[in-house]
Structure 1
């Protein structure tokens, strides 16, 4: 299995992802899926620059991710897949992507900061109605785990929805 870790994190790529989580789930590269970042070369370079030396980063829009993920999954390398919102993972799954991973097929959820129309459901987690619906969809296929860093206690979508 080429996917070592799947994460929702509204910060996308940052030090915590690569340092803390890569010790738990080693990776050769990071795939960020975000239509807006993928279309903005300056923003893409900022996020690529956030990864440490030696870790390759690809930033795909959803359409490109759906085209590339089957080949990525067949590879011998290990990849993190990260998106800002669970809606992206819902769209990928609906499009046929298989997000099973080395983290017991969990979708890990990191920070989802408060925004307009969102309700707080836990520490550093605020979701909109659309995100709630996406988590409901994903929870039928994967375990949705809210856990900021590896040594913190997890809580699960079923507990907070």
Structure 2
């Protein structure tokens, strides 16, 4: 199964279910975050937001184990990591993705992020995490929709002096 990684702290919303799933031909959605995976309300609401697509809400370790069972299956899955740290955890766990995109990262209360784009807030810790993701050989794009301009997020982080 082809896996596409989408980092978005909004998790499942219209752009994901309509635009990204269609673009990738995804026939399932996997939401990945340890806190969300144990939240009973999120576990009920997120699959409902997926508009009929099969959806799982899993912690990072559970997601790694589950996604590895799908390696030889046909189709595609959109894997939505809530944070860059969740995404890095999936890569550290040995998963391979066709693409890595950041759809949205709103500022987190109590942090001092830099707004790299109007829809992406990045702390210095996030910047380091994105750089670690690229060390796996990925180019990270910051796109809200597939039609957005194709930009390299790490290059933008360097321009903003978040990385050298």
TM-score, normalized by the shorter chain, greater than 0.5: yes
* TM-score normalized by the length of structure 1: 0.89
* TM-score normalized by the length of structure 2: 0.88
- Maintained 8 Å contact 1:139/1:157: no
The superposition leaves residues 42-94 of structure 1 with CA deviations (integer Å, 9 ceiling, x where unpaired) of 111111110112x1000110111121121122211321100111111111111
Distance 2:121 2:71 in 1: 31
The superposition leaves residues 113-136 of structure 1 with CA deviations (integer Å, 9 ceiling, x where unpaired) of 122221111231101222111100
Choose the corresponding residue for 2:113, options 115, 118, 128: 118
SS at match of 1:152: coil
Name the Cα RMSD after superposition. 1.3
Moved over 6 A (4+): none
- Maintained 8 Å contact 1:2/1:72: no
User: Where does structure 1 lack aligned partners over 5 or more consecutive residues?
Assistant: none
Choose the corresponding residue for 2:122, options 121, 127, 135: 127
Match of 1:107 in 2: 100
Match of 2:155 in 1: 159
